[in-house]
Amino acid sequence: MKVSYDKGGLIAPEDIQSSRQQTERRAGRAAKVMLVFPPDWFPSEPYLSLPTLTAFLRNAGHEVIQKDVNLEMYDWFFSADFLRRVLKKVPQQLDRLKKLSRMRELTEGEIDLQLALCDCTRTRIQALIEKAEQAKAIVRGPEFYDVEKLEWALGVFREVTATISLVYAPARICMPPMETDLSYKLFMSSELLEAVEDTQVNVYRDVFDHILKPAIEAHRPDIVGISIVLRQQLYSSMTFCKMIKEQFPGIHVTIGGNTVTRLRDVLPERPNLFALFDSAVMYEGETAFLHLVESVMAGKDLSHVPNLMYRDATGIHTTTSTYAENMAQLPPPDFDGLPLEKYFAPVLILPYLATRGCYWGRCEFCDHGEGYTAGYRSKKIHQIIQELKGLREKYQTRYFHFTDESYPPALFRKLTRQLIEHELDIAWTTHMRFEKSLLDEQVWQDAQRSGCKFLHMGYESGSERVLKLMDKATTTDVIRRSLELSAQHGVWNHIMGFFGFPGETYEDAKFSIQFLEENKEYVHSIGFGTFDLSKHTPVAKDPERFGVTYYKNPEWDLALDYYYTVKHGLGVEDAERVFEEFEQHHYAGWDLRIFIREYVFLYVAHFGTNKLPALQYRIEGQEDRPALAGVS
């Protein structure tokens, strides 16, 4: 099923430009905009949404303050200041549990919490402070490339966040951050609103007071925009929205990003939730957000701003016009103002996007097309090269993450050749499909010479039948040869797949596992899971075609995926069992001591090889791992 981009009246560039000019004349002065990237995300590189919007707004003459609150939060968590605050909270948490015990018998978990809190002494916290600062120094310095020290540092981060969790319990603060849980159901707006108000578990209220509030007081922005990429970021984002509106009522607060677009049908129907912010930008944000900024500054009605939901005295409205960006007219991202030296990596990795949408756009399990109102678009190769050269020189880094959804084969070939011809000397990583057109040896020779180090590759399944059901338009022969070529030419491949696509049988799942095991010498790392029936996927839009019946709980209004049953093949629970079996019995060489994608990328770039046995856990019968320093 080809992605449909029919999501409203797509307007022409000249129409939006004419409207902008009229609004600009009424505005009178440039706006001051603060852009916020909220927790939780791993703080290893900047997220691209802020630098992309910043470049667009600054080109239009507006002042922009970029605030990566996620990064600053983790830097603060692993500091003396925050851990001393944790120590001060210990008596408060013990007192809360004592009061609770007077009302009822404490659970086993609460008793364990009491005991753990009693171990949070001044001496232990001081030791944690010293370890946390040392761990940050390791991930930001040359010791990063000593895998023993890096593994120790990541262990310290987990130890610190586990200690932080004690005083915010029953919340769990985690590293990696995607596992953080405030103990509320994120798929229910009623519980999300309760979490925002919960002063016990909501660590983001303290993050606001320490990081975001002082910045707002210092800069006094007219508008604050919050980029919400993952649903998990709703906890922090809605907390920030509410506290901004309470303490700075004159500021227009807008939200945007992938999650907002996916919730566009729900948000207008939830006035209690929408009351926390003023507007929400859907789909692509550059032109829409700029038009919003200038309309707000001019005191103009917002009904003509494309890609927008907004609240006024009469209710919540969604504008009927949509706008899609011309990639050739977008400036390169602007990272100025971000604390680039604070990211949790020894070198600066810059994200860069050359395309919008997916050139294939047919995978039946994918809903990435929901983020756009027009089809696949790309910058020209000469523009890409010039922008990469400019970013490399300006920010003095040679490490790039091309965040395109799936790098197109023709552009991949052009890019590698042009990087070689222009002698850019960069190391880069991106995301790819398995394509027959990329099986030429020269393609991979060029990839290696151009600095390609790490590829995320969409394997999905090793069953030809299931690949056809998914409309992947590839074969196991193409996959096998691609893996061989990438391995032979020093490019690390990370294979992503899942069990339980509707119609997949247990035999199909065994084919997937068997294929990987048979080709394990060419497969460097894997990322597997189970199929999620996301609400905007082709499967959810045409369930009968896939033999699927799914269930919507009306109270789960923020749910982005559904529980389902199937007529044939693996159901939800069956897929989970297959996945658990695979987790327990797969090739041990795929279990890495360091699993963060940016870190593996840097290791491959640093040591100049994709043969890094020191990253693996010790395999039974294997000799001691060689030190990475000895790898050539």
Measured between alpha carbons, how far apart are the two ends of the chain, in Å? 46
The helix (run of H) or strand (run of E) holding residue 63 is: strand 63-68
Other CB atoms within a 10 A radius of the CB of residue 390 amount to: 11
613 with 594, same domain: the answer is yes
| pLDDT score, position 16 | 63
Of 151, 628, 155, 136, nearest to 346 by C-alpha is: 136
Residue 547 covered by a domain: yes
Q: What are phi and psi of 468, to 5 degrees?
A: -70, -40
Residue 17 covered by a domain: no
The answer to whether the CB of 387 falls within 8 A of the CB of 352 is yes
223 with 362, same domain: the answer is no
**Which CATH number characterizes residue 40's domain?**
3.40.50.280
Residue 323 covered by a domain: no
| pLDDT score, position 22 | 54
The answer to whether the CB of 403 falls within 8 A of the CB of 48 is yes
In angstroms, rounded to a whole number, what is the distance separating the alpha carbons of residues 434 and 210? 46
CA quadruple 614, 178, 368, 397: dihedral sign? negative
106 with 91, same domain: the answer is yes
Tokens of 199: 């002063």
- Among the three residues 194, 221, 249, which one is the final residue of a domain in this structure? 194
Tokens of 71: 């990064």
Tokens of 503: 């119609």
Residue ranges of the chain with pLDDT lower than 50? 25, 620-621, 623, 625-632
396 with 455, same domain: the answer is yes
Tokens of 303: 């009904």
Residue 537 covered by a domain: yes
Other CB atoms within a 10 A radius of the CB of residue 104 amount to: 8
CA quadruple 300, 301, 306, 309: dihedral sign? positive
| pLDDT score, position 18 | 55
66 with 135, same domain: the answer is no
461 with 610, same domain: the answer is yes
Tokens of 632: 């050539």
Tokens of 154: 């990541």
Please tell me the total count of domains within the chain: 3
428 with 568, same domain: the answer is yes
| pLDDT score, position 178 | 82
494 with 421, same domain: the answer is yes
Convert 340-370 into a string of H (helix), E (strand) and C (coil): HHHCCCCCCEEEECCEECCCCCCCCCCCHHH
283 with 257, same domain: the answer is yes
Residue 329 covered by a domain: no
441 with 363, same domain: the answer is yes
In angstroms, rounded to a whole number, what is the distance separating the alpha carbons of residues 585 and 578? 11
Residue 122 covered by a domain: yes
Task: Determine the structural domain holding residue 476 and report its residue range.
Answer: 348-630
In angstroms, rounded to a whole number, what is the distance separating the alpha carbons of residues 89 and 315? 41
Instruction: Specify which residues 35 forms β-bridges with.
Output: 66, 225
In angstroms, rounded to a whole number, what is the distance separating the alpha carbons of residues 278 and 190? 19
Of 630, 618, 428, 546, nearest to 1 by C-alpha is: 546
List the strands of the sheet with 32-37, edge to edge: 63-68, 32-37, 223-227, 252-256, 279-281, 308-312, 315-318
pTM of the predicted model, to two decimals?
A: 0.94
For residue 538, the SS3 value is helix
State the DSSP string of 412-456: HHHHHHHHHHTT---EEEEEE---GGG--HHHHHHHHHHTEEEEE
For residue 262, the SS3 value is helix
Convert 215-244 into a string of H (helix), E (strand) and C (coil): HHHHHCCCEEEEECCCHHHHHHHHHHHHHH
| pLDDT score, position 368 | 84
**Which CATH number characterizes residue 596's domain?**
3.80.30.20
| pLDDT score, position 176 | 85
Instruction: Specify which residues 427 forms β-bridges with.
Output: 399
Residue 411 covered by a domain: yes
Specify the amino acid at residue 567: K
| pLDDT score, position 408 | 95
In angstroms, rounded to a whole number, what is the distance separating the alpha carbons of residues 550 and 114? 42
The helix (run of H) or strand (run of E) holding residue 73 is: helix 69-77
| pLDDT score, position 618 | 63
- Among the three residues 162, 178, 194, which one is the final residue of a domain in this structure? 194
The answer to whether the CB of 462 falls within 8 A of the CB of 476 is yes
| pLDDT score, position 21 | 58
pLDDT in tens, 384-423: 999 999 999 999 999 999 999 999 999 999 999 999 999 9
140 with 229, same domain: the answer is no
523 with 619, same domain: the answer is yes
Tokens of 54: 């910043």
What's the CA dihedral at 465, 357, 178, 125 to 10 degrees? 140
Residue 419 covered by a domain: yes
For residue 627, the SS3 value is coil
